[in-house]
A and B are shown apart, each in its own frame.
Chain A
Amino acid sequence: MAMIEASKYRKSLNRTNELPLLHLVMLFQFVSMLLLTFRDGVMDAFSFQMSLYLPIGTFLGLKIISKLFPVDRCIFILTAFLSSLGVVLLRAVLKTTADASDQALFLLIGYFLMILSAFLIRLVRAWEKLSVIAMPLALGFLCLPFVFGSPSATADSWVKIGGVQFQPSELIKPVLILVLSAGFSRKEGFRVWWRYVLFAGLACSVLFLQPDLGAVFLYFIITVCLFYAGTGNYKVTIAVLLIAVLGVAVFLKLLNSIDAFSYLASRIAIWQNPFSGAYEDARQIVQGLISIASGGLFGSGLGLGSADRVAVVASDYIFAALSEEFGILFTICVLIVYLVLLIRGTTIAMNARSRFHALTALGCVFALTSQMLLIVCGNLHLIPLTGVTMPFVSGGGSSMLSSMIQAGILLGISSVNAEDEYDDLMRITRGQWREEE
């Protein structure tokens, strides 16, 4: 009798067959890079190499990570799809190969970091103790732009040390999620939680002063999300949200009288009426909208669009490029991929056996989804552009590595879940499951 039950359970453990999905993604990587190889009449060596490296990388990456841990392979394949989509888009849109090859390198490093973070989340158990050290370190790290600032954009959130440029707010995001999850998964109440609330508040303040308002918003909603999920204290959550809305309203009222934020006031003015003086500062918004609408249903054809006419297309306006090159239908599919990631991530959070793991998984998937929503809404001119990136797809190392670390954490937790399920199964079937296998 136990045998029959075991086979029933085995079927449920053996999740959906991921091979068709894997093959489809590999085919996409191969074909799109091959198309780009011959786009300009002369063969482009970089694209040709990529048409082989990308599918091979995806294949090997999946093999390696699923050999190491019993992870949710769907999440890995979809992240591989999104991040290679970034490489494809950068090559298709920009004239030079530099950005795309950088992105490919970051993708490779990202895979390693992904495995490393999956490994760490499985290994380390004492996150509460670690967070005591992590909090001041993270805050110090966030303050780096004040010392090593690089004046690359209006928001001074970049650090440049010895030729390497990175954005601390991106890299600290996974730390924030881990630390807050460790804190809010404890049940002692505010006499413990206050430290973590304080940490989040300080982090937001530091970012506010840089000023990197997109990151402030992201950090804030991550904190609120984790606080609510961890403590279940909806009264405080709603109160905090209300205060935040009120604060933003007051801030906007006072905006014109604060000199330090004059750039923000003009940004909002441009956002409200981008078409009035389209050739000046609003150019990016207008060109972005033109680009988004230019693709039509099926896109301009890979590499045939002109999204490079939008300023900062590689990071801020990659969604516009996606919409122009691939068209509405494909873009909807990409949004659905994010939706699937959200659903898979939530499932991992629901299946997790420890409060900490559940919160961390939720935090990661929440951060990825909300970041995607922010940038897409910004590109569509629904909200002012915040300068956050599209996870996995946008060009830029910090963003790619940060997203990969979050995906790695999700994978690590999913493997812990699978092992726990396996143990349960062994217990139910009194150890016969393995024999049947």
Chain B
Amino acid sequence: MKDMRFAIRLIAMIMAALVLFVAATYVITIHINGDRWINRANNTRLRDAKKTTVQGSVYDSAGVLLAGSSKPGERHYISDERTRRALSHTIGEQTNMSATGVENFHATTLLGFTTTRTGYTLQRLQGQDPVGNNITLTVNAELTRYIADSFKDWKNGAAVVINYKTGAILAMVSIPNFDPANMDLAVQDTAYYNRVLQKRYAPGSTFKIITLASALTNDETIKEEQFSCSGVWNYGEYSLRCAGSKAHGEMSLVQAFADSCNVTFGSIAYQLGAEKLRGTAENFGFNFDFSFDDVIVNQSNCLNKGEKSTDLIQAGIGQGTTEVTPLHMAMIAGAIANGGDMMEPKLIKKVTNPSGFVISEMEPEVFLHCLDEDTSRDIAKYMYETVRGGTATRAAIKGYEDGYVCGKTGSAEWTNDKTRETNAWYVGFLYGDSAHPYAIAVVVEEGGSGGAEAAPIASKVLKKAIELDVY
């Protein structure tokens, strides 16, 4: 008998520990993932609740009413159609065609599921329709509409402006869009898809920011090195070309970055090796399953699918299997402007209950510490040179003197079909202007050259943002 005591005790201890572990896991998973699960489009509870509850209103950061309800099942939106369409992905809609808008991803808040059950039951007992909570967003409606209007001929694409000090999303636009007030209208393919958060684009030359960061962190002498470019570099069967096969000749690292020399950055990536480049990219949030509280952002990928030399060289210039969402690219630019700290993206400025009591308020949180301050200052300098005399001169803002406009363009190949135009990219920020800490990412699909198509949009948009003085 005595000999069994130890075994019985051991087994009981293990089982007890497992029960406690499962109980803890139960609480923690609900805490982390609960909202995500409940706010899924296929949660039929929400659909039913919309029939019995007066949904809360959605306001923009300036207090403009974007969406509201007067009785259960009814929903009205801001009357100006262009604004409504520009904001469609941000607001969301009632039929669950899109999944990432506030009315979808934060449906439980608008339906008041987050308030106490006692309040809910009291409202029911008094014969009133229960009323949900109101949400104030960080976005500015006017800026959002202005961005949508800046896209020439309504070319498909995405643009996002964030405040890199707080992480607040000041405006995001995805084109094509839809009209939440007229969901019966036919829409273009992928119109319900929020490109800013969900679409993974090849970043093209904008990824050179990461390659540069990796080079500056891992190799202290690279700043003084000279590079030469003959316009094309043949590596085995793969040949890497600069835009138009133009030879850049002898140049310094700053020039190579400002002129966006593919050969130089391909070879830098090759010398760094996959491990180091991937390491830096992962410091910036690549290959990371984002689970932010406010927005659903798809994972960005870098060198996690293949490690051949050609993959590595292509990754150095943001091609191949490298892909990134526009919001993530804006966050990367923001991290450089913010001394290496990437802020968690925020969309909800404030949640108030029907009687005006503030339930929760936005609190800026550092999401990742990407790189040290000195390196980030260096990169900002390089990006400033790019706007001053490189490929991004058209991003400059006339008459702006409070800070420095820094940026990087990209013209990313997205298909093997050579007759199609490249996607035009611009990412950048205003440096050293504490009143206007904006970071921006613009993608114009099949826009061709980033310097010619995306950079002017960014320039206009940032100018407008400064005018409106959004924060």
Identify the A interface with B (CB < 8 A): 225, 228-230, 232, 275, 278-279, 283, 286-287, 289-290, 292-294, 296, 298, 300-301, 306, 309, 323, 328, 331-332, 335-336, 338-339, 342-343, 346, 349-350, 352-355, 358-359, 362, 365-366, 369-370, 372-373, 376-377, 380-382
Given contacts A290-B38, A306-B45, A309-B44, contact A229 B22 (CB under 8 A): no
Is there a chain A Cβ closer than 8 Å to B20's Cβ? yes
In chain B, positions 6-22 with a C-beta closer than 8 Å to chain A are 6-9, 11-12, 15-16, 18-20, 22
C-alpha spacing A156/B113, complex, angstroms: 41
C-alpha spacing A332/B38, complex, angstroms: 20
Taking A289-B37, A296-B117, A342-B19 as given, write out 19 further A-B residue pairs in contact, using a Cβ cutoff of 8 Å, ordered by the A residue number: A232-B3, A278-B42, A286-B40, A293-B30, A293-B35, A293-B38, A296-B113, A306-B45, A328-B27, A336-B23, A339-B16, A350-B8, A358-B8, A362-B8, A369-B15, A373-B18, A376-B26, A380-B22, A382-B25
Residues on A with beta carbons closer than 8 Å to the beta carbon of B8: 229, 346, 349-350, 358, 362
Residues on A with beta carbons closer than 8 Å to the beta carbon of B16: 339, 342-343
Q: Judging by beta carbons under 8 Å apart, are A293 and B22 in contact?
A: no
Max chain B CB contacts within 10 Å: which of A225, A229, A381?
A229
Q: Judging by beta carbons under 8 Å apart, are B12 and A343 in contact?
A: yes
Residues on B with beta carbons closer than 8 Å to the beta carbon of A298: 117
Please give the distance in Å from B113's CB to the nearest CB on chain A.
Answer: 8
Please give the distance in Å from B358's CB to the nearest CB on chain A.
Answer: 20
Q: Judging by beta carbons under 8 Å apart, are A293 and B33 in contact?
A: yes
Q: Judging by beta carbons under 8 Å apart, are A279 and B25 in contact?
A: no
Residues on B with beta carbons closer than 8 Å to the beta carbon of A232: 3-4, 6-7
Is there a chain A Cβ closer than 8 Å to B355's Cβ? no
Chain B interface, number of residues (Cβ within 8 angstroms): 36
Given contacts A290-B38, A328-B27, contact A355 B19 (CB under 8 A): no
Residues on B with beta carbons closer than 8 Å to the beta carbon of A292: 30, 37
Is there a chain A Cβ closer than 8 Å to B185's Cβ? no
Please give the distance in Å from A405's CB to the nearest CB on chain B.
Answer: 20
C-alpha spacing A376/B42, complex, angstroms: 23
Within 8 Å by CB of A370, from B7, B15, B23, B121, lies B15
**Residue in chain B with minimal CB distance to A339:** B19
In chain B, positions 373-425 with a C-beta closer than 8 Å to chain A are none
C-alpha spacing A301/B118, complex, angstroms: 10
Q: Is the interface of B mostly helix, strand, loop or mixed?
A: helix
Q: Judging by beta carbons under 8 Å apart, are B22 and A290 in contact?
A: no
Residues on A with beta carbons closer than 8 Å to the beta carbon of B19: 335, 338-339, 342, 369, 372-373
C-alpha spacing A381/B29, complex, angstroms: 10
Proximity string of chain B (25-64) to chain A, C-beta cutoff 8 Å, 1 when within and 0 when not: 1110110011101101011110010000000000000000
Given contacts A229-B4, A339-B20, A366-B11, contact A301 B117 (CB under 8 A): yes
**Residue in chain B with minimal CB distance to A377:** B22
Please give the distance in Å from A75's CB to the nearest CB on chain B.
Answer: 15
Given contacts A306-B48, A342-B12, A358-B8, contact A380 B38 (CB under 8 A): no
Max chain A CB contacts within 10 Å: which of B5, B26, B48?
B26
C-alpha spacing A275/B3, complex, angstroms: 50
C-alpha spacing A355/B20, complex, angstroms: 29
C-alpha spacing A328/B4, complex, angstroms: 37
C-alpha spacing A180/B466, complex, angstroms: 79
C-alpha spacing A382/B27, complex, angstroms: 13
Q: Judging by beta carbons under 8 Å apart, are A286 and B22 in contact?
A: no
Please give the distance in Å from A337's CB to the nearest CB on chain B.
Answer: 10
Q: Judging by beta carbons under 8 Å apart, are A335 and B22 in contact?
A: yes
Is there a chain A Cβ closer than 8 Å to B1's Cβ? yes
**Residue in chain A with minimal CB distance to B13:** A346
Please give the distance in Å from A51's CB to the nearest CB on chain B.
Answer: 21
Given contacts A279-B42, A339-B16, A350-B5, contact A332 B27 (CB under 8 A): yes
Residues on A with beta carbons closer than 8 Å to the beta carbon of B4: 229-230, 232, 355, 358-359
